[in-house]
Structure 1
């Protein structure tokens, strides 16, 4: 299912800073991640609202930011790219924190904030995603496969109808 995304700036005649571009891309990235989540749920994957919902969302957001970083590499100077990615990660973390704090509550004093949790995950996975390829066609198979691996290992979602499918051999249904 397609989502509507505004593709032109309101004031098209002025140059945009990497930080302005990042702010806009953060919102679009959030919408794409939410649409991905919606499509997974429509495909009957059980992704309950709560910690599981946000675990899935965080993984998709990190993946999307990595793709945007690769695209920025091809279009921006090193300084612009650094400013863009830094601002993008911070703004996405802010949006995620607003939503997690609203849905799950603010973590207790002494616990890691949702903002810091996302930043830590992003920094951890940046080195992992750096090993995968990306070209003008987009991320390579291993890049996308790693996202699937991360989601699968985190048990962020499970297909709700898997046990009801008679055409699968029983050995695949064991957990």
Structure 2
């Protein structure tokens, strides 16, 4: 299936395949997530193990997948939106599987991530979304902060909430939205 997207990958608009779109989106989302994780660690919040870092990345990726779903709701028909979001989720699950296997050894990390993602999609569906600015409302940013804080060590959970909600989430979202603009999924400046 091909989803028609106007892209700014080159100077002229052209049709981009779903596979290309998802690959670029997943690569950039993972990079953004890694930068966010590094910021968390640079702020000296407790991340003791590689698997704990993978758990933080899972939360960031679930958030980004949900954001894509919210934004795609306004620009794609239901079938294309479902295909795009599902393909993106599968690609991210592949990244989770590869990285978790490197740190945790052989095993299935993909299905637990998909289960977590399904739960997060339901959790975030109950939160507020600002359609005008295409950004999370207070309840969504608080939920995101809580999910990340729960992945961190107990020492910093209460302090991490404020930092994640007020600093990390807006910075992460700003970079992510630039990728979505370049892919033609969101209007605005890239």
Q: TM-score, normalised by structure 2?
A: 0.71
Aligned to 1:132: 127
Query: Does 1:148 find its partner at 2:182?
Result: no
CA distance in 2, matches of 1:156, 1:55: 11
CA distance in 1, matches of 2:40, 2:127: 24
Aligned residues: 150
Aligned-pair CA distance for 1:8: 4.3
CA distance in 2, matches of 1:153, 1:93: 20
Q: Deviations over 1:94-151 (max 9, x none)?
A: 01111111122112xxxxx111111110011111111112224211111010011122
CA distance in 1, matches of 2:132, 2:44: 32
Aligned-pair CA distance for 1:48: 2.5
Q: Which runs of structure 1 show a deviation greater than 6 angstroms over 4 or more consecutive aligned residues?
A: none
CA distance in 1, matches of 2:73, 2:59: 21
Q: CA, structure 1 residues 48+80, in 2 after alignment: closer, same or farther (shift >3 Å)?
A: same
Q: Which one of 115, 124, 135 corresponds to residue 120 of structure 1?
A: 115
Gap runs ≥5 in structure 1: 1-6, 108-112, 163-175
Q: TM-score, normalised by structure 1?
A: 0.76
Aligned to 1:76: 76
> Would you tell me which structure has more helix in proportion to its own residues?
2
Aligned-pair CA distance for 1:155: 3.9
CA distance in 2, matches of 1:9, 1:139: 27
SS state of the match for residue 16, structure 2?
A: coil
Q: Which of these two proteins has the greater Rg computed from alpha carbons?
A: 1
Superposed, 1:49-60 pairs within 5 Å as: 49-60=49-60
